[in-house]
Amino acid sequence: MTTAMDPVLVARWQFASTTVYHFLFVPLTIGTAFLVAGFQTAWYRTGKEQYYRATKFWGRLFLINFALGLVTGLVQEFQFGMNWSEYSRFVGDIFGSPLAIEALLAFFLESTFLGLWIFGWERLPRGVHLACIWIAAFGTMASAYFILAANSFMQHPVGYVYNELKGRVELTDFWAVITQRTTVITFLHVLTACFLCAGAALVGISCYHLRKKQEPAVFRPSLLVGLWALLIAGVGVALTGDQQGKVMFEQQPMKMASAEALWDTQGPAPFSLFAIGDVEKGRNSVEIQIPRLLSFLAHGNFHDPVPGINQTNAAEQAEFGPGDYRPWIPMAYWSFRWMIGFGMFSVLVAVVGLWFTRRGRTPSGRWGAWFWRFGLWTLVFPVIGSAWGWIFTETGRQPWIVYGLMRTRDGVSTSVPAGRVLTSLILFAALYAVLAVVEVGLCVKYVRAGAHDVVPAAAPAGSDGDDDQPLAFAY
């Protein structure tokens, strides 16, 4: 009971649960924004009704996820002040800059132009209306960039000086913060994962309708777009993930050693496919490995040594003082594998799907039936993989909240008792449960409804609008 009421533990549970919940919507929203813009561009260029209906259908789901992502994202900002005031005081001079730009510039872009897009159907000239969704899409991308820049400072602090008098870090080079390698490669990895999630959504929902032979004019192009998005984004995720891994081997060797359950430094180092370890004894009791592969992933060759957990822990003890600098090894090891497994399985579905649908074919027979099932299940796999990716990124950094500068236990608010944090955790859990019911209910409703009720306006909109037209958002 004493452990359960530890204020650090309760605050960590609250931030972890609300952040993971929020991140279920973020990658889907960013990726879907660009795919909706693509469908609208196809409609603008060709005038084909099927692209108009696809734009409207996927646009509804995009807006539902955007709204839920917006609501749940606001909570993150409040938590820095509520439960992590010591952390906010320590890094506020640095952390506030990218977050301020995200709020003032990126969020302004996406919210303003998304509003114009929602209410501008048949009121704005088509070219201007199309530009609105593209600007909103790039706004969501810019928003993600500045948030990842702030997070990357926690992973690898740069562009700062430590003020001993004030006991905090202060910004000296903002350009270094937003352009460091950690920020750039993390952004590219997350961006490709966003398209992976959006592609899976298109594939899963299109499979649902095509399996029932509903509206093939809309959902077959959607399926093909989703399959290609899955395949291309999957390759992008793998390439950027490889580069991000190489950066982390340099900057956070403990995180990567934990992800591989590599207890002792080895050269050449093997890649672990499966392991059951003994954390207390610092070794694996069961393991299946691929020789030399970890050296290649870390250094680009098959012989250089990779630092192990025990040696890295000893090195950090020598640099930062006595203590245990290991994260929770089983969490780091398995979250890393679940991230890769869920993501790459969806890419396999994309390859199979493109084979089944080649040259205008439609999946049929026993194998076709299996494809429709796997295609539908793929809907959630990249989202789950992304969530595990963030769990790995954040838990693998422990015990640091800002790597090498501040431990997590030192960042919690000292004036907020654990009982109060636990109360807010319960309230957030209840609120988020209600939001989950609303989200799932709305998505199921609109997915089942399909796009049959959507028809383009009889005449192109090129004037200032028609007052007799109902609001486009009313559908």
The whole-angstrom separation of Cα 438 and Cα 281 is 47
Contact 245, 258 (CB under 8 A): no
Mean pLDDT computed over 270-274: 89
The 10s digit of each residue's pLDDT in 394-429 is: 999 999 999 999 999 999 988 888 888 889 889 988
Query: Quick one: pLDDT at residue 467?
Result: 43
Q: Which DSSP helix (H) or strand (E) runs through 168?
A: strand 168-171
CA angle 258, 169, 83 (to 5 degrees): 70
Locate 229 and state its tokens: 């998005």
| Cβ neighbours, 10 Å, residue 233 | 26
Q: Which residues contact 19 (CB under 8 A, 6 or more apart)?
A: 76, 390, 394
Predicted confidence band of residue 126 (pLDDT cuts 50, 70, 90) = very high
Mean pLDDT computed over 231-237: 95
> pTM of this prediction?
0.90
Query: Quick one: pLDDT at residue 4?
Result: 54
> If you ran DSSP here, which 8-state letter would residue 406 be given?
E
Q: How many Cα atoms sit within 13 Å of 72 on the Cβ side?
A: 29
* pLDDT above 70 (res 147): yes
Mean pLDDT computed over 171-200: 94
Predicted confidence band of residue 106 (pLDDT cuts 50, 70, 90) = confident
Q: What is the dihedral of CA 148, 152, 157, 162, to 10 degrees?
A: 40
Contact 121, 113 (CB under 8 A): no
> If you ran DSSP here, which 8-state letter would residue 400 be given?
E
The whole-angstrom separation of Cα 309 and Cα 265 is 8
Residues 169-173: contacts with CB under 8 Å, at least 24 apart? 169/90, 169/91, 169/93, 169/94, 169/402, 169/405, 170/93, 170/94, 171/93, 171/94, 171/97
Query: Quick one: pLDDT at residue 463?
Result: 43
Closest CA to 455 of 45, 48, 41, 32: 48
Q: In 292-378, where does DSSP find H-type helix?
A: 293-299, 309-320, 329-356, 365-377
The whole-angstrom separation of Cα 466 and Cα 440 is 34
From first CA to last CA, the distance across the chain in angstroms is: 52
Locate 307 and state its tokens: 């630092």
| Cβ neighbours, 10 Å, residue 447 | 17
Closest CA to 266 of 244, 284, 247: 284
| Cβ neighbours, 10 Å, residue 330 | 14
The whole-angstrom separation of Cα 333 and Cα 349 is 25
* pLDDT above 90 (res 39): yes
Q: Which residues contact 318 (CB under 8 A, 6 or more apart)?
A: none
Locate 255 and state its tokens: 């995180």
Closest CA to 233 of 325, 347, 388: 347
* Residue with more model confidence, 37 or 287: 37
The whole-angstrom separation of Cα 385 and Cα 58 is 22
The whole-angstrom separation of Cα 451 and Cα 437 is 23
Q: Which residues contact 239 (CB under 8 A, 6 or more apart)?
A: none
Q: Are strands 168-171 and 160-163 parallel, antiparallel or unpaired?
A: antiparallel
Rama region for 225: left / alpha / beta (φ>0; ψ in -120 to 50; rest): alpha
Mean pLDDT computed over 295-315: 91
